[in-house]
Amino acid sequence: MSVFSRKPREPPVHLHDPRFDGWETVEEYEDVATATAFAGRLTELEIPNALTADHAPDRHGRGAIYLQVPGDQYDEATVALEGWDL
């Protein structure tokens, strides 16, 4: 028998998650795919981030999606995303 240690997978978009209440919104996106790409850029640069929303995205992944970072990472995150277009 093989035993694998798997960490529970985080949802792509967090809804009403109090862990991110004090975080700053860097950008707002209209769909999960675009938000995920920009969040990935911050992750590559080791900037903690999370995608949050007030309401679940629709079945096409559209909705108001917020890219958030801890307050002390806000300046670094905005500089990292400046001029980075998909």
pTM, two decimals, is 0.83
Q: How far apart, in Å, are the Cα atoms of 53 and each of 4, 14, 40, 56? A: 32, 6, 17, 7
Q: Token digits for 23?
A: 């975080």
Domain ranges of the chain: 15-81
Q: What is the pLDDT of residues 19-57, one digit of tens each?
A: 999 999 999 999 999 999 999 999 999 999 999 999 999
Tell me which H or E stretch contains 44: helix 32-44
Q: Which residues pair with 52 in a beta bridge?
A: 14, 66
**Fold entry, domain 15-81:** Alpha-Beta Plaits (3.30.70)
